[in-house]
C-alpha cells in the first residue's frame, strides 16, 4: 500500500492515481519535500510509476521555469519546459471516459507547459497568455470548492485553485466531460528560470562546503545546500539546520525542517519537536511532515501530543499522514479528552479504523457528547455509518449500525447532528431490499410531527 511515509522518502517512487481522484487529493499526494526542488523532479519521457521522486544533485535542462505565488512566493509547480510538439496534446475527452470511467486524460504531457492560446480546449477560454500545466506538475495547491463545483470534477469556469496560503493562482479543469489541465493566472504567479549555474561549492561532495554556504551563501544557494544536506543525511548539519529552522529566513525554515526529518537523528527529532511551538502554520506543516518521516521511535507520541492543541486543519491532516498506525479506542478516548481544538478532535475521529467493538462504542459515545463541536460529532456519525462488519454475514455493515444511528437520532438535540444521522441511515439502507420498520416509523414520525425542526423534517422526507 502506498503510504504517506513512502511519499516522503526520496528513494521511493510515486505511483500515479486516477485523474478523477487526483484533483481532490492534490495536496495530500504532494510531499512537502518538493519545497526542495529547484530542478525538474521527473523526466517526462519516463512513466511516473518508474520515476524517482527526488534526485540530488541534478542539473535542469535549459528553458525550464518554476512558478510561484506572486503574493506569498510559495512554490506551486515543478520545473517545466515549453512544449514545441503540439501533436502530443490531448485536446478532446477520451471516447471511453463516460462508459468505462477511465478518468480524464491529461491535456499537457508531464514536465511540459503550453499557453492557453496554443490549443482549442485550453483554459480559460476568454483570456490569453496563461501557462497551462499537467496537474502532476502542480504542487502546494488546493481546489477551492467555494469557487465552483462540477459534475464529477472542476469545470474550469472560475479561478478555483489556491496556493497553500489561500491565494488564488489559477483555474483547474477536470470534469467528466473534459481533459484535465491547470492554467495559472499570469497576474497572480511569477515564473523563475530554473536553469542556473551551480556554484562550485554546491557541486562539491564535501558536506562541509554545503555548511559554509548555508552559513554565508545567497538564499537560493542556501536553499539547495539545505536540500543536499538532508538528502545525504548529514548528521553534522543538525545544529546548523536547527538554527535555520528556528531563526533563519522564513522561506528556508520549511526546507530545514524537512531536511532534519530526512536525517532522522535523535537530535534532529528533538529540534523538530521544539519547533512545533512556532506560530507559522507553513513551518508547522513542514515540521509535522518531517517528524512523520523520521525513522525513529516516539514520533507517533510527539504528533498525537501536538494534535491535541493544533488549530489548523492543514497541519492536522499532515499529522494524520505522518502517523504509522490508526488509533485504538483507548488512545482515541485519551487524546479526545485532552484535545482543545475542533481541528484536532476532528482529525482524531478520522484516525479511527472502521472495525472493532471498542471503536464502535467510542464513536457512538462521541456522537452523544454534547460538549464536542458539531462538526466532530457529525464526522463520528459518518464514521459509524460506514462501520464495517467483523463477520461474514453477507452485509458489509455491522448489524448494530442502524440501531446505533437510530438511537442517536432520537437522543441528541443538535439539529445538524440529527440530520447527519438521517443521512447516514439513508446511506446504510440505500441498497437493501427493505428498510427496518423501526427506522421507517421513526422517519415518518419526524416528518409529520410539527414540533420537529424544519431541517430534520426535510431530511426525513428526503430519506423516505
Closest CA to 241 of 264, 218, 204: 264
What does the pLDDT read at residue 83?
83
Give the DSSP H or E segment for 448.
helix 437-448
Q: What tens digit of pLDDT does each residue of 272-318 get? A: 999 999 999 989 999 998 898 888 888 999 999 999 899 998 888 88
Contacts 24+ apart (CB under 8 A), 89-96: 89/114, 89/118, 89/119, 90/179, 91/119, 91/120, 91/121, 91/179, 92/121, 92/179, 93/177, 93/178, 93/179
What does the pLDDT read at residue 33?
34
* Grid cell in block for residue 195: 536553469
* Grid cell in block for residue 168: 488564488
* Grid cell in block for residue 74: 510559495
Give the side-chain half-sphere CA count within 13 A for 428: 29
CB atoms inside a 10 Å sphere around CB 208:
12
What does the pLDDT read at residue 363?
92
Q: What tens digit of pLDDT does each residue of 347-383 get? A: 999 888 867 888 889 999 999 999 999 999 999 998 8
pLDDT-based confidence at residue 104 (cuts at 50, 70, 90): low
Contact 155, 173 (CB under 8 A): yes
Q: Is the pLDDT confidence value at 432 over 80?
A: no
Query: DSSP code of 31?
Result: -
Burial class (CB in 10 A: 0-12, 13-18, 19+), 56: middle
Q: What Rg do the C-alpha atoms of the chain give, in angstroms?
A: 25
Distances (CA, A) of 440 to 397, 418, 420, 443, 455: 19, 15, 16, 5, 18
Q: Is the pLDDT confidence value at 78 over 50?
A: yes
The per-residue pLDDT of the chain, averaged, comes to: 76
Q: Is the pLDDT confidence value at 12 over 50?
A: no
* Grid cell in block for residue 375: 462538526
Q: Is the pLDDT confidence value at 62 over 70?
A: no
Give CA angle at 183 (179, 186), nearest 5°.
Answer: 165
Rounded distance, CA 279 to CA 312, Å?
A: 11
Q: How confident is the model over 223-247, as a mean pLDDT?
A: 89
Give CA angle at 250 (65, 219), nearest 5°.
Answer: 50
Helix axes of 266-275 and 281-293: crossing angle, nearest 10 degrees: 150
Amino acid at each position: 500500500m502506498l503510504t504517506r511515509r513512502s511519499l516522503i522518502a526520496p528513494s521511493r517512487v510515486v505511483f500515479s492515481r486516477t485523474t478523477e481522484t487526483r484533483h481532490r487529493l492534490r495536496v495530500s499526494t504532494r510531499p512537502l519535500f518538493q519545497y526542495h526542488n529547484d530542478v525538474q523532479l521527473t523526466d517526462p519521457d519516463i512513466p511516473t510509476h518508474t520515476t524517482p521522486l527526488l534526485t540530488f544533485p541534478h542539473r535542469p535542462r535549459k528553458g525550464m521555469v518554476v512558478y510561484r505565488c506572486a503574493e506569498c512566493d510559495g512554490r506551486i509547480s515543478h520545473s517545466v519546459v515549453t512544449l514545441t510538439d503540439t501533436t502530443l496534446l490531448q485536446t478532446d475527452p477520451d471516447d471511453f471516459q463516460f462508459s468505462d470511467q477511465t478518468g480524464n486524460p491529461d491535456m499537457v504531457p508531464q514536465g511540459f507547459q503550453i499557453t492557453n492560446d496554443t490549443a482549442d480546449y485550453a483554459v480559460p477560454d476568454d483570456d490569453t497568455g496563461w501557462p497551462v500545466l499537467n496537474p502532476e506538475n502542480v504542487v502546494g495547491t488546493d481546489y477551492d470548492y467555494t469557487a465552483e463545483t462540477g459534475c464529477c470534477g472542476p469545470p474550469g469556469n472560475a479561478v478555483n485553485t489556491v496556493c497553500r496560503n489561500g491565494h488564488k493562482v489559477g483555474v483547474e479543469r477536470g470534469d467528466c466531460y473534459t481533459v484535465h489541465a491547470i492554467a495559472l493566472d499570469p497576474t497572480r504567479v511569477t515564473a523563475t528560470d530554473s536553469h542556473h549555474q551551480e556554484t562550485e561549492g554546491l557541486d562539491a561532495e564535501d558536506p562541509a562546503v554545503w555548511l559554509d554556504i548555508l552559513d554565508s551563501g545567497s538564499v537560493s544557494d542556501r536553499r539547495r545546500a539545505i536540500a543536499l544536506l538532508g538528502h545525504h543525511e548529514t548528521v553534522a548539519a543538525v545544529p546548523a539546520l536547527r538554527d535555520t529552522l528556528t531563526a533563519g529566513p522564513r522561506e528556508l525554515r520549511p526546507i530545514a525542517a524537512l531536511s532534519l526529518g530526512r536525517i532522522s537523528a535523535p537530535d534532529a527529532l528533538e529540534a523538530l519537536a521544539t519547533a512545533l511551538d512556532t506560530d507559522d502554520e507553513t513551518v508547522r506543516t513542514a515540521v509535522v511532515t518531517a517528524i512523520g518521516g523520521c525513522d525513529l521511535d516516539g514520533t507517533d507520541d510527539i504528533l498525537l501530543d501536538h494534535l491535541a492543541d493544533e488549530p489548523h486543519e492543514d497541519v492536522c491532516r499532515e499529522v494524520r499522514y505522518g502517523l504509522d498506525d490508526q488509533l485504538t479506542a483507548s488512545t482515541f478516548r485519551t487524546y479526545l479528552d485532552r484535545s482543545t481544538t475542533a481541528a484536532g478532535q476532528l482529525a482524531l475521529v478520522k484516525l479511527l479504523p472502521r472495525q472493532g467493538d471498542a471503536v464502535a462504542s467510542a464513536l457512538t459515545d462521541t456522537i452523544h457528547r454534547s460538549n464536542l463541536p458539531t462538526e466532530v460529532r457529525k464526522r463520528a456519525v459518518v464514521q459509524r455509518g460506514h462501520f464495517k462488519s467483523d463477520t461474514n454475514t453477507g452485509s458489509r455493515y455491522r448489524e448494530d449500525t442502524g440501531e446505533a444511528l437510530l438511537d442517536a437520532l432520537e437522543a441528541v438535540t443538535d439539529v445538524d447532528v440529527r440530520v447527519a444521522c438521517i443521512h447516514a441511515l439513508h446511506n446504510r439502507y440505500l441498497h437493501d431490499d427493505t428498510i427496518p420498520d423501526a427506522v421507517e416509523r421513526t422517519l415518518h414520525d419526524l416528518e409529520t410531527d410539527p414540533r420537529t425542526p424544519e431541517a430534520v423534517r426535510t431530511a426525513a422526507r428526503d430519506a423516505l
